[in-house]
């Protein structure tokens, strides 16, 4: 069961959507029969996608807003998921896996599975890159405006890739910067295009202003051989090796992040790639999912595992 707030298709709406696509295709490649129940407009090459009939635009009220700002209404998702699960009941499955972190609020969490990246599909180069990149939705928690501040303080050109998620934030914090020297704002692009852009960059900046659950852009960057400069928050501290594959600085410290952007070219791009291959590869994630699925199936009448 995919997140229903966006369609699962390129360009993906976020890391969760990208991982659902990777997970489904990876499991199919291992011989599993996989059906992905997703919002209308979804498409995953090589995978059976079942249209739930849910228009993702109807769930705009459920979108995450930084600091729980007014307007978010998680209850609005109820009818959509009721419709989706009605469709699921028509087929008997061995495992139903719901990709929704909000279950933590209503159910015990038995396992946390890693959402790693398909490094084998990601091209990389050890040649020196140029400029900085930010990749993520244009919303306060992702820190696009801070990324621009950091690049400007470092005297670096920056390309910002991302679609508008919070219209007020984009209008107030990003639009006035679109004509700034050495700043280029792009819409979201397919992942293959994003990987190519990251591979050409000297550094990928991830100034998250929330406790990032994982940090797909940072993992993708290292797979491309590109160092990461990030605020040390949430999962970013677990996937970036400080001083080896990037630099972790105190949250909201623009000056320290700018200094780190200038130092990023001193880091080994091959070390970034090696770390991604050894520790952030999708195959490890597929292993973990298969192990959990086998355990769930073996419970035979026990309580569901979430």
Nearest Cα to 207, choosing from 176, 178, 246?
246
Q: What is the pLDDT of residue 273?
A: 98
Helix, strand, or coil (residue 206): strand
Could you tell me the two tokens for 106?
């209503």
Q: What is the pLDDT of residue 13?
A: 85
Give the whole-angstrom CA distance, residue 59 versus residue 75: 10
Q: What fold, for 119-279?
A: Rossmann fold (3.40.50)
Digit-coded pLDDT (tens) for 29-67: 999 999 999 999 999 999 999 999 998 888 776 666 665
User: Which sign, positive or negative, has the C-alpha torsion 214, 262, 149, 204?
Assistant: negative
Q: What is the pLDDT of residue 221?
A: 98
User: Which sign, positive or negative, has the C-alpha torsion 300, 303, 304, 305?
Assistant: negative
Mean pLDDT per block of 10 residues along the chain (306 residues) reads 91 91 97 96 96 86 58 68 89 87 70 92 94 96 97 98 92 95 96 97 97 94 98 95 98 98 97 98 97 85 50
Give, as one character, the DSSP assignment of residue 281: B
Residue 227 contacts residue 203 (beta carbons within 8 Å): yes
Give the whole-angstrom CA distance, residue 296 versus residue 280: 25
Nearest Cα to 271, choosing from 206, 303, 226, 214?
226
Give, as one character, the DSSP assignment of residue 74: G
The DSSP element (H or E) to which 205 belongs, if any, is strand 203-206
Digit-coded pLDDT (tens) for 94-108: 999 987 766 667 777
Residue 199 contacts residue 127 (beta carbons within 8 Å): no
Helix, strand, or coil (residue 68): helix
Identify the bridge partners of residue 183 per DSSP, sorted by sequence position: 158
Q: CA angle, corner 23, sides to 38 and 68, nearest 5?
A: 60
Q: CA angle, corner 75, sides to 52 and 94, nearest 5?
A: 45
Annotate 22-65 with DSSP letters as a single string.
Answer: HHHHHHHHTT---EEEE-TT---TTSEEEE----GGGGGGGS--
Q: What is the pLDDT of residue 56?
A: 85
Give the whole-angstrom CA distance, residue 128 versus residue 103: 43
User: What pTM does this model have?
Assistant: 0.90
Instruction: State the number of CA atoms in the 13 A half-sphere of 137 facing the CB.
Output: 22
The DSSP element (H or E) to which 231 belongs, if any, is strand 228-231
Other residues' Cβ atoms within 10 Å of the Cβ of residue 58:
16
Give the whole-angstrom CA distance, residue 297 versus residue 77: 28
Annotate 133-189 with DSSP letters as a single string.
Answer: EEES-BSGGGTHHHHHHHHHHHT--EEEE--BSSHHHIIIIIGGGTTSTTEEEE---
Q: So where are the chain's domains?
A: 15-116+282-298, 119-279
Q: What is the pLDDT of residue 58?
A: 82
């Amino acid at each position: 069961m995919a997140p229903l707030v966006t369609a699962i298709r390129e360009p993906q709406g976020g890391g969760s959507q990208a991982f659902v696509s990777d997970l489904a295709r990876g499991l199919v490649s291992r011989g599993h029969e996989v059906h992905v129940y997703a919002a209308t407009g979804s498409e995953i090459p090589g995978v059976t996608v079942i249209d739930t009939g849910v228009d993702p635009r109807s769930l705009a009220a459920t979108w995450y807003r930084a600091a729980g700002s007014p307007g978010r209404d998680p209850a609005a998702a109820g009818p959509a998921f009721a419709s989706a699960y009605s469709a699921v009941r028509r087929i008997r499955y061995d495992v139903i896996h719901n990709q929704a972190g909000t279950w933590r609020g209503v159910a015990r969490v038995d396992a946390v599975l890693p959402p790693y990246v398909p490094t084998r599909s990601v091209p990389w180069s050890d040649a020196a890159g140029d400029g900085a990149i930010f990749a993520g939705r244009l919303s306060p928690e992702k820190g696009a405006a801070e990324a621009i501040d950091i690049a400007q303080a470092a005297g670096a050109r920056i390309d910002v890739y991302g679609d508008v998620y919070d219209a007020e934030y984009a209008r107030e914090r990003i639009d006035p910067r679109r004509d700034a020297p050495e700043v280029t704002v792009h819409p979201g692009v397919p992942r293959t295009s994003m990987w190519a852009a990251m591979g050409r960059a000297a550094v990928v900046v991830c100034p998250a202003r929330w406790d990032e659950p994982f940090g797909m852009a940072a993992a993708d960057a290292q797979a491309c051989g590109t160092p990461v400069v990030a605020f040390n928050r949430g999962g970013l501290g677990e996937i970036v090796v400080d001083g080896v594959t990037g630099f972790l600085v105190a949250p909201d410290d623009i000056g320290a992040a700018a200094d780190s952007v200038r130092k990023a070219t001193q880091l080994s791009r091959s070390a970034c790639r090696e770390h991604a291959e050894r520790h952030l590869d999708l195959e490890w994630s597929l292993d973990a999912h298969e192990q959990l699925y086998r355990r769930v199936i073996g419970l035979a009448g026990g309580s569901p595992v979430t």
